[in-house]
Homo-oligomer: A and B are copies of this chain.
Amino acid sequence: MRIALGQFNAVVGDLSGNAEKMRSMYAEALRSNVDLLIFPELAVCGYPPEDLLHKKHFLQHNLFTVKKLAADCPKGTIIAGFADSYENDCYNSAAILQNGAISKIYRKVLLPNYGVFDERRYFQAGTEPLVIGIAGLSVAVTICADVWDIDWLADFLKDAGRIQMVLNISASPFYMGKTKQRQAILSRCAKEFNCAVSYCNLVGGQDEIVFDGRSMFADSSGKIVACAKAFDEDLLIADVTATDKGVRVEPATAQAPQPSDLIDEVYQGLVLGTRDYVRKNGFTKVLLGLSGGVDSSVTAAIAVAALGAENVVGITMPSEFNSPETIADAKKVARNLGIEFLNIPIGPTLAQFDEALKAAPGWGSKGVAYENLQARIRGSILMSLSNSIGSLVLTSGNKSETAVGYATLYGDTAGGFAVIKDVPKTFVYKLAKHINKIAGRQIIPASVITRVPSAELRPGQKDSDTLPEYDLLDKILKGYVEEDKSAQQLIESGLPQDVVHKVIRMVDRNEYKRRQSPPGVKITPKAFGKDRRLPITNRYSSCEDAS
């Protein structure tokens, strides 16, 4: 049997557009004599459709789209994910399309409701396995999390007879290193059932998550024999043959190049996440502040890779506190990237604002309020340009500063998309070097990478006046934010108590800022946003002992 994995970039809610992409892959698959064409989880409506699933007309539209797809694609077998409603319940389902109609439906059983997932908000769990014969092979249909608990799956399928292939349609969000976990689980699945595994994953950015594709085939020995492109659409084809001993899988398409390492995959994820957020929301151009620092330089480089240099505008907005060196570096980055560059000094506006604020008792031209005002003037300039030329503003806050609230609300957090929001500062430097490496030249000047970080909001300011050194900060944040460790656990692992307590308090206190921040691409196991839902009003302190 010849199988194709139709790894395509679905847009949430774009039922007809998604169906059109599937029809076009179907035509391509037909030309390659494919028997079975597999599309990702919820391919018809995109993932996650969230509360669109509460609209009855949306569910009707979903079913209508699947039926039309079936009618338009009558040859062979197609399997595609869709939101299936029955009476007042909704299921995360796979439709089996044969002979111009829906021949069968499988309903996902294991519904993830953790991290970024809210499936039990929307879906009832299925209860029945579906094993079908396709081109002489016995195929078990599963959806995403259904294969992540192999013991459960073995039990679920125990009365299904000999299974020659487990087919899994997924919408599995990317984070650093996740593909290894997927390979391990698919390999285990293949060995458990002594069968082939066909795994079709979604690709594309959707708000704060990005799907990395990398659909795969495994043979019954557990070997991953073919892997589709990362962060791009692909039609991966293989021939699957049952033998006496097991099931053979032979790739029929060339091996796709894969990211060279974790840094490269994060870079590619950020590029696709940014491109899709901008384009799927109807924008062509973006603009961003260029400070001459590493965060905005990396963000600009990612934007250029995502959208083309002609669609990115960099703006420097210097005050008296910006050094000639950083201003020159901002200009260099823009020149190296070949993007338009504007210089809008904020000094006179800051002076006028300051004058107006003297009407308020207690106002003074220094301190945090005065520093934040500078950031807010910059935010207002960027948003004014965004409104006047129709460009989306990118922000360039990293995960470390987002965590501790080292940012001005409505200032440097003002914008539509926060490209490196989930990238720790220490990793931003790795991206900067990677960007230079793949360009084969210095896009981001060495001085940007080596300079001591500063917000440049007062004379001689350094980030380390307020924050611990980033190496230490990022270690604490990984433990506290990503791993939910207590202060005590972090201290016991050798981190200094005073810094641990200080950082935890900063993280807790700044939930309100994060709640009003733009979305950005998740690249770690736990990102801020849907992945980590803490109350703003919260008196619990992880610094206290539970005894």
Contacts and interface: CB of A to CB of B under 8 A. Distances in A.
A51 B546 contact: no
Contact of A539 (B11, B342, B387, B535): B11
A376 B351 CA distance: 17
Of A277, A384, A542, A544, most B-chain CB atoms within 10 Å: A384
B484 A539 contact: no
Nearest to A512: B416
Interface string A403-446: 00000011000101000000000000000000000000000000
A349 B276 CA distance: 37
Contacts of A538: 12-13, 52
A13 B536 contact: no
Contact of A535 (B48, B114, B416): B48
Interface stretch (A234-242, A257-265, A357-365, A467-475): A357-365
A537 B280 contact: yes
A344 B360 CA distance: 8
B383 A367 contact: no
Contacts of A389: 360-362
A336 interface: no
Given A380-B353, A410-B379, A538-B52, A388 B362 contact: yes
Contacts of A281: 512, 536-537
Contacts of A546: 57-58, 60-61, 64
| Complex copy number for this chain | 2
Given A54-B484, A535-B48, A360 B388 contact: yes
A363 B349 contact: no
A283 to B, nearest CB: 11
Nearest to A115: B121
Interface stretch (A141-149, A295-303, A493-501, A513-521): A513-521
A359 to B, nearest CB: 5
B540 A64 contact: no
A477 to B, nearest CB: 15
B537 A11 contact: yes
A381 interface: yes
Contacts of A348: 352, 355-356
Contacts of A45: 540
Nearest to A530: B533
A461 interface: no
A377 B356 CA distance: 11
A118 interface: yes
Interface residues of A, number: 96
A18 to B, nearest CB: 9
A363 B15 CA distance: 38
A376 B114 CA distance: 37
Contact of A55 (B346, B353, B542): B542
A16 to B, nearest CB: 9
B383 A380 contact: no
A345 interface: yes
Interface string A270-292: 00000011001100000000000
Nearest to A277: B537
Most buried by B among A60, A361, A380: A380
A388 B414 contact: no
Given A113-B121, A384-B369, A50 B362 contact: no
Contact of A372 (B52, B387, B535): B387
B388 A537 contact: no
Contacts of A118: 118, 121, 533
A19 B340 CA distance: 60
A118 B45 CA distance: 23
Interface string A192-212: 000000000000011100000
Contacts of A57: 486, 488-489, 542, 546
A535 B357 contact: no
A381 B355 CA distance: 11
B376 A380 contact: yes
Closest 6 CB pairs of A and B: A13-B540, A369-B387, A14-B539, A57-B486, A61-B546, A369-B388
Interface of A: 11-15, 17, 45, 48-52, 54-58, 60-61, 64, 113-114, 118, 120-121, 205-207, 276-277, 280-281, 315, 342-346, 348-349, 351-353, 355-357, 359-364, 367-369, 372-373, 376-377, 379-381, 383-385, 387-389, 409-410, 414, 416, 484, 486, 488-489, 512, 515-519, 532-542, 544, 546-547
27 contacts: A13-B539, A50-B535, A51-B532, A52-B535, A52-B538, A52-B540, A57-B488, A57-B489, A58-B540, A61-B546, A118-B118, A118-B533, A120-B120, A277-B537, A280-B537, A281-B537, A345-B356, A349-B353, A363-B388, A364-B388, A367-B387, A367-B388, A372-B384, A376-B410, A379-B410, A383-B410, A516-B516
